[in-house]
Structure 1
Amino acid sequence: MISYLLKKLGYALFTLWGVVTLVFFLFYLMPGDPAQMMLGENQTMEQVAAVQKKYGLDQTLGKQYLYFINDLSPVSFHSDNADDFTHWDDRYSGSSIVKLGGYHVVIKTPYLRESFQKTGKQVSEVIGDTLPNTIVLAIASILIALFIGLALGVISALYRDSWIDKVIQVISTMGMSIPSFFSAIIAAYLFGYLWHEYTGLPMSGSLYEMDDYGEGIHLQLRNLVLPALVLGIRPLAVITQLMRNSLLEVLSQEYITTAYAKGLTTLQVIKRHAFKNALNPVVTAVSGWFASLLAGAVFVEYIFGWNGLGKEIVDALNTKDLPVITGAVLVIASLFILINIAVDVIYIKLDPRVKLDT
């Protein structure tokens, strides 16, 4: 187990380095100067130069990349020179372990830098404010997909080739085919605008909102309904199909025939034997979809005005806010990797025949 986790950790670090590198260089292919976008239309050359110096944008692309990796790395090098961009100061949280010439070798938490557009606000704060909302949305979506998808999958398998099965198959196929941004627009228009009088659901809104009098921030669970349903449509369709096919395969096994021969009812066979054994492919799908929902929530959050990490990424792309973009992508990639490792371990619990690849 330990060797497996260390191997996975090595792959994870290599993957994260690749993700950060790709995002960094793609960022510099985007048109526009971040310094000018920060200052607005009335900036002077001196102001632009000062902002570029502050954020290291006056350095060559190679140096900017090395500085960027140095800030993200848990082991980094920092100068004693206060004029050096790598100067060790209160931006970083860590401690020096050895001094080499004019540089300190430091162990620290990864520094995601300061947002270009939210002056004085650290990227870690931006992510801390928005990531919980995205996680709540993703959890709500996957729970909806799980409860409805598993139920539909079992019903579809039990009524194989009947009209019920065919209707469920058509619905699940449509669910997999429709893009989330399209279904989000349709749902917002129908349930949030056209039928708002009956549903009471808003077209947009976040988990917490300030009241009309500005006296406090209140939890608004009704704002969660539409984005969670829309985001859960595709995983729901996948889970339905997987559960149906997996359950049909399990029900064809000899031990199921033996269970029926012992006098067990269909409900008892499903509950005691078939259901758990049919869950393996579903668990794998849920893990992948949960991680994907964190990334795929971008369009859904933007359309519904949900104050999550996805909406923050879109805003950062529009304003060329590299630290926020990179920090958000890095967090999502890290969560994706951690979820996949956790699922491998859970898989062992569900099916002892599966062995970890060490």
Structure 2
Amino acid sequence: MFSVLPGDPAQMMLGQNQSQEQLDKVKQKYGFDQPISVQYIYYLNDLSPLSFHKKDKDHYTSLNSEKYSAIQLFKISSYDVVLKRPYLRESFQQNGRSVSSIIAETLPNTAVLAISAISIALLIGILLGVFSAIFQDTVLDKSIQILSTLGMSLPSFFSAILFAWFFAYVLKDLTGLNMTGNLYELDDFGEQRHLILKNLILPAVVLGIRPLAVVSQLMRNALLEQLQEDYIRTARAKGLSEFKIIYKHALKNALNPVITAISGWFASMLAGAVFVEYIFGWNGLGKEIVNALETLDLPIIMGAVLIIALMFIIINIFVDIIYAWLDPRIRFST
């Protein structure tokens, strides 16, 4: 399935100074000489935990211990049915490193960045939305709305360049922040890794700007709607303070649309992180995707897209569970 894309995968793996015989062997080993439909089936077979393999033929479906270890379950005709971990192939450019190991190395950095950004968006966005609803139509409310609109309109890559220039270059002496840097960095001798949390500040803030603006707007509108409900009037008639009414009653019910937006934004952050990580030099999955696109390292691109899609599905399932906790009316009936 790689042969229809620009470049020769076998040539990418071997370099420019290899013989035709070596190229033919690599194509045969990885199935690049097969029709597109067959290559697609091979790829699905590698991805599936339950897969089929032939031991009596020397082609790509052969069970190769160098690729992955597997447990043989049973035999169907000439095929062995085995149980294994999903196999995402090998990088074309990184000396045959497995895509799984590359993703396992970079994904935690992206997860730290995304969780930090979404935490900033939730904490500040909910707070601004509550204040905006309480002080509706005041100068504070209008100022928050203007800032939210600006935040939603700024693309991530532009915000990243702007913040890096202003806070890490113009105000470098005041902030002490770096324009580029990773969560862990080697010392001057290249021996020990040190945790550098300040390198997380700018990329997390930049990545959290747009969801923060969305959360602020949604929180304001949802809270204003809840404050008009009958149960709020009843709470006020009972003499409850405005703080208790908002904190114990209205806020929890107003969080449903916020959680809905955050679930989508958290998955979208993985796409936005591609630009932010590249600009700030953050060694995450996003930066790895950009590097793979530049070098046409197709297995990494495909593996990263599959992992991001899987995370999107898991996040949405998790959000459905949170719904049931926030709103008892939508819990599953027993």
Q: Same fold (TM over 0.5)?
A: yes
Partners of 2:136 and 2:225 lie apart in 1 by 12
Does 2:21 match 1:46?
A: yes
**Which runs of no fewer than 5 residues in structure 2 stay unpaired?**
none
Does 2:30 match 1:55?
A: yes
Does 2:270 match 1:301?
A: no
Is the contact made by 1:211 and 1:218 (CA closer than 8 Å) also made in structure 2?
yes
Candidates 315, 321, 329, aligned match of 2:305: 329
Q: CA RMSD in A?
A: 1.8
Does 2:140 match 1:172?
A: no
One-letter identity of the residue aligned with 1:319: T
After TM superposition, give the deviation of residue 211 of structure 1 in Å.
1.1
One-letter identity of the residue aligned with 1:262: K
After TM superposition, give the deviation of residue 46 of structure 1 in Å.
3.2
Map of 1:352 onto structure 2: 328
Is the contact made by 2:128 and 2:144 (CA closer than 8 Å) also made in structure 1?
yes
What's the secondary structure of 1:278's corresponding residue?
Answer: helix
Partners of 1:293 and 1:118 lie apart in 2 by 26
Is the contact made by 1:130 and 1:307 (CA closer than 8 Å) also made in structure 2?
yes
Residues 133-148 of structure 1: pairs in structure 2 closer than 5 A: 133-148=109-124
Is the contact made by 1:291 and 1:336 (CA closer than 8 Å) also made in structure 2?
yes
Partners of 1:101 and 1:300 lie apart in 2 by 51
Candidates 58, 68, 86, aligned match of 2:43: 68
Range moving further from structure 2, 322-331 or 96-105: 96-105
Map of 1:129 onto structure 2: 105
After TM superposition, give the deviation of residue 130 of structure 1 in Å.
0.4
What's the secondary structure of 1:92's corresponding residue?
Answer: coil
Is the contact made by 2:93 and 2:297 (CA closer than 8 Å) also made in structure 1?
yes
What's the secondary structure of 2:209's corresponding residue?
Answer: helix
After TM superposition, give the deviation of residue 138 of structure 1 in Å.
0.3
What's the secondary structure of 2:52's corresponding residue?
Answer: strand
Candidates 70, 84, 90, aligned match of 2:59: 84
What's the secondary structure of 1:46's corresponding residue?
Answer: helix
Range moving further from structure 2, 54-63 or 339-348: 54-63
Map of 1:116 onto structure 2: 92
Does 2:204 match 1:225?
A: no
After TM superposition, give the deviation of residue 161 of structure 1 in Å.
0.8
TM-score by length of 2: 0.94
Is the contact made by 2:13 and 2:96 (CA closer than 8 Å) also made in structure 1?
no
Partners of 1:145 and 1:151 lie apart in 2 by 10
What's the secondary structure of 2:80's corresponding residue?
Answer: strand
Partners of 1:340 and 1:356 lie apart in 2 by 16
After TM superposition, give the deviation of residue 109 of structure 1 in Å.
1.8
Deviations 1:9-32 (A, max 9, x none): xxxxxxxxxxxxxxx6xx655422
After TM superposition, give the deviation of residue 296 of structure 1 in Å.
2.2
Identity of aligned residues (%): 61
Candidates 61, 74, 79, aligned match of 1:98: 74
Partners of 1:33 and 1:320 lie apart in 2 by 10
Partners of 1:134 and 1:272 lie apart in 2 by 35
Is the contact made by 1:96 and 1:104 (CA closer than 8 Å) also made in structure 2?
yes
Partners of 1:40 and 1:77 lie apart in 2 by 31
Map of 2:8 onto structure 1: 33
One-letter identity of the residue aligned with 2:276: V
Range moving further from structure 2, 100-109 or 297-306: 100-109
Partners of 1:193 and 1:81 lie apart in 2 by 63
**Which runs of no fewer than 5 residues in structure 1 stay unpaired?**
1-23
Deviations 1:156-207 (A, max 9, x none): 0011111111110010011111110111111111112222121111111111
What's the secondary structure of 2:330's corresponding residue?
Answer: coil
One-letter identity of the residue aligned with 1:184: A
Does 2:222 match 1:246?
A: yes
Candidates 242, 252, 267, aligned match of 1:266: 242
TM-score by length of 1: 0.88
Is the contact made by 1:344 and 1:356 (CA closer than 8 Å) also made in structure 2?
no
After TM superposition, give the deviation of residue 255 of structure 1 in Å.
1.6
One-letter identity of the residue aligned with 2:44: I
One-letter identity of the residue aligned with 1:297: A
Range moving further from structure 2, 54-63 or 328-337: 54-63
What's the secondary structure of 2:270's corresponding residue?
Answer: helix
May I ask how many residue pairs the two structures share in their alignment? 333
Partners of 1:173 and 1:356 lie apart in 2 by 37
